[in-house]
Amino acid sequence: MSDIEEVLRGIVGPGHVLVDPDLRAAYETDWTRRFTGTARCVVRPRDTAEVAAVVRACAAAGVPITVQGGNTGLVGGGVPDRGEVLLSLTRLSDLEPVDELESQVTAGAGVTLEKLQAHARAAGLDVGVDLAARSAATVGGMVATNAGGIRVLRYGSMRDQLTGLEAVLADGTVLTRLAGLAKDNTGYDLTQLLAGSEGTLAVITRVRLRLVPLLPARAVALVAVDGTEGALALLAAARSRLATLSAAELCYADGIDLVRAHGRLSAPFAEDYPAYVLLECAAHSDPTDEILELLADCDAVQDATVAGDQVGRARLWAYRETHTEAISAAGVPVKLDVCVPLRELAGLVAELPGAVAAVAPGARGIVFGHVNEGNLHVNVLGAGEHAEEVTDAVLRLVAQRHGSISSEHGVGRAKVPWLELSRSEAELAALRRIKTAFDPDGILNPGVLLPVR
């Protein structure tokens, strides 16, 4: 094999090929420290042409590539395995002016969500997707993994923001489709195919995104309900009556207890309740009255508190958003991200403790999530050496209830062994045919999404 590092230095400059283990380290382990591997080097191109040259060089040398954005993924999809070239896209940070006529913007794959949000808001617009990792997560990675977050109810996932992209195929060919046409029926939608493909079909270098109106008036309600069924009843009422609804988050008594103890928060209500729903509405004018009317009419509401000011809203959001931090403080959790059809949600939540206890005695699951999509983040504490059995038990329950083993995090390396729970043999064969059509030599992200054959 020729010295690929030397070739890569010629493409991106010597300062952007990192071979020293100390320099590679930050790229070789994900931020949760659950996934780690070894890259033969890290290469940091600055534009699409350099990415294409890097991919061509690796393809010619038969060296596989792991593609990485902000390294904020939760399933190890951007972490190398055994000696790949790690292609980091963070230097692709060009950000074009907001196209106000179209409400769209074109951004380099390495632009962080936070930078994009600031850019959009300066033009009186906003990004439809928001998530906690915004300061590091890059838009390229968010498209490649079809990121979700707290606003999916209102604006959809990352793929729904996408009106075009630019990508480098496994042979170094560049596909460019950035005109941002809202309606374009000229053959297979390559843009949608690459969204959520986790870097296994192409390297996304630029994305064209629709923006949404910046809504200055927000109101948040924290609502106590008698359990999952009550949460669903409230959701149904909110969805049909609140045109401004932008988030509906679900959590349970055990999670709230943990959050309260961790953050020394006061109890939200005089009494304790089995479950809680946080609703957020966003509009041009104050949506508080609309929420109050709904709460007054909805039988599922056991108690509720509403905040229209920023401090009050943040106080209510903290009960939901501090879950991750409070759980991590209590131990190293097995983290799963699943969804089921809404009619299956209460049954799944009821079955989880038994299923977890059966394989990991003494372990306990804390559950919270995005109720509109039936999307639960299942965090199991105290699983000890039974992490794999817990994962297996929970994912099998989800599959029995016609759910998905990965609702918003993707497959990555972590979920590959369980992919067949969510995908039929016929579907897996179709996925493999697509992979082979785009990347016949398996250069791009081997071991991610599909098993290496």
Min dist CB 375 to a copy of itself, Å, is 6
In the bound state with a copy of itself, the residue whose beta carbon lies nearer, of 149 and 255, is: 149
Q: Which residues, other chains included, contact 128 with Cβ-Cβ below 8 Å and sequence gap of 6+?
A: 151, 154, 155, 156, 160, 161, 209, 210, 211, 212
Nearest to 319 by CA among 338, 333, 305: 305
Q: State the nearest-atom distance from the C-beta of 95 to a copy of itself, in Å.
A: 19
Q: How far is the CB of 107 from a copy of itself (least distance, A)?
A: 17
Rounded-to-integer distance, Cα 341 and Cα 374, Å? 6
Nearer to a copy of itself, 330 or 428 (CB): 428
> Least distance to a copy of itself from the beta carbon of 419, Å?
6
Task: Write down how long the chain is.
Answer: 453
Nearer Cβ to a copy of itself, position 64 or 374? 374
Task: Walk across the sheet containing 38-43 and list its strands.
Answer: 17-18, 38-43, 82-88, 65-68
DSSP string, 325-356: HHHHHH---EEEEEE--GGGHHHHHHHHHHHH
Q: Which is nearer to a copy of itself, 397 or 449 (CB)?
A: 449
CB 282 → a copy of itself: shortest distance, Å?
A: 10
Q: How far is the CB of 425 from a copy of itself (least distance, A)?
A: 9
Q: How far apart are CA 96 and CA 450, in angstroms?
A: 34
Cβ within 8 Å of residue 44, ≥6 positions away: 12, 16, 17, 18, 88, 90, 91
Q: What is the closest distance, in whole angstroms, from the C-beta atom of residue 238 to a copy of itself in the complex?
A: 12
CA separation (Å) from 37 to 77, 92, 126, 395? Answer: 11, 24, 36, 25
In a 13 Å sphere around the CA of 397, the CA atoms on its Cβ side amount to: 26
Give the residue with the Cβ less far from a copy of itself, 17 or 282: 282
How many Å is the maximal CA-CA distance in the chain? 72
